């Protein structure tokens, strides 16, 4: 299976000083690690990486990193190594919103990886038409899957939920080879009756006031 290719270049200077030089040259520093191999300090073009990420999968996008020796990126005959990887961690400047540093994790296309996938509610819960309020407990869930099987999102239809009903992890429809790393009984969404809860609370407060006066 082919994945989007991103060119990265091995960098010699490490530490804060080396990272500053990389950024001054208009590049972003990073490191490629994982699978019990020696980490490789790299540098890459920010725009190329961002344009290679799937707009929905984002960090869950599987990439082919073309790692070239320093000064050999794109050069014919240059020594390169192709590595299947994913973005494990990205540091972002809070002011400029530009990438500061990226950790790439080597992955095996035949082995599971653990990632977080968003949960999207679809439909309109019937309980909301009778005064209930829809509450989403989980907006994302951790899953295990082989890189090519990682879902973009997990959708769950809440249309049938009435007041007091709930959907759980066991109700998620998963693709082949995808496992959710949570208890199947964990709630994803429920319809509650805030008005009834409020009235009950007010009654209890009133009873407490009466006892104090007595």
And the tokens for 17?
Answer: 């000083």
Q: According to the model, what pLDDT value does residue 206 have?
A: 53
65, 87, 106 - which closes a domain: 106
106, 135, 150 - which closes a domain: 106
The answer to whether residues 17 and 53 belong to one domain is yes
pTM, entire model:
0.76
The answer to whether residues 21 and 99 belong to one domain is yes
- Report d(CA 73, CA 7) in Å as an integer: 7
Residue 22, domain member (yes or no): yes
Is residue 52 within 8 Å of 148, Cβ to Cβ?
A: no
Residue 206, domain member (yes or no): no
- Report d(CA 189, CA 191) in Å as an integer: 7
The answer to whether residues 76 and 156 belong to one domain is no
Please report, in tens digits, the pLDDT of each residue of the chain (214 residues total). Answer: 679 999 999 987 666 656 777 777 888 999 999 988 999 999 999 999 999 999 889 989 999 999 998 655 444 456 889 999 999 999 998 999 999 999 999 999 999 999 999 999 999 999 999 999 999 999 999 999 999 999 999 999 999 999 999 999 999 999 899 999 999 999 999 999 875 555 444 545 555 554 444 4
The answer to whether residues 76 and 141 belong to one domain is no
59, 84, 106 - which closes a domain: 106
- Report d(CA 23, CA 14) in Å as an integer: 12
Provide CB contacts within 8 A for 129, sequence distance 6+: none
Which residue range is the domain that position 91 belongs to? 4-106
Our count of domains for the chain comes to: 2
- Report d(CA 10, CA 104) in Å as an integer: 13
Q: How far, in Å, are 127, 132, 166, 194, 204 from residue 197 at the CA level?
A: 15, 11, 17, 5, 11
């Amino acid at each position: 299976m082919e994945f989007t290719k991103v060119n990265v270049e091995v960098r010699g200077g490490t530490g804060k000083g080396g990272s500053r030089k990389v950024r001054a040259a208009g590049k972003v520093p990073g490191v490629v690690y994982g699978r019990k191999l020696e980490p490789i300090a790299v540098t890459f073009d920010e725009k190329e990486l961002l344009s290679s990420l799937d707009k929905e999968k984002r960090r869950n996008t599987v990439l082919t990193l073309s790692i070239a020796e320093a000064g050999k990126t794109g050069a014919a005959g240059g020594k390169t190594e192709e590595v299947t990887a994913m973005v494990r961690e990205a540091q972002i400047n809070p002011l400029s919103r530009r990438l500061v540093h990226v950790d790439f994790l080597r992955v095996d296309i035949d082995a599971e990886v653990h990632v977080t996938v968003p949960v999207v509610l679809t439909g309109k819960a019937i309980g909301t038409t009778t005064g209930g309020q829809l509450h989403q407990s989980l907006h994302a869930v951790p899953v295990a899957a082989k890189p090519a099987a990682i879902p973009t999102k997990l959708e769950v239809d809440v249309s049938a939920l009435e007041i007091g009903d709930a959907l759980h992890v066991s109700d998620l429809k998963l693709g082949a080879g995808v496992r959710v790393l949570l208890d199947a009984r964990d709630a994803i969404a429920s319809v509650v009756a805030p008005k009834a809860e409020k009235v009950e609370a007010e009654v209890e407060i009133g009873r407490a006031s009466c006892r104090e006066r007595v």
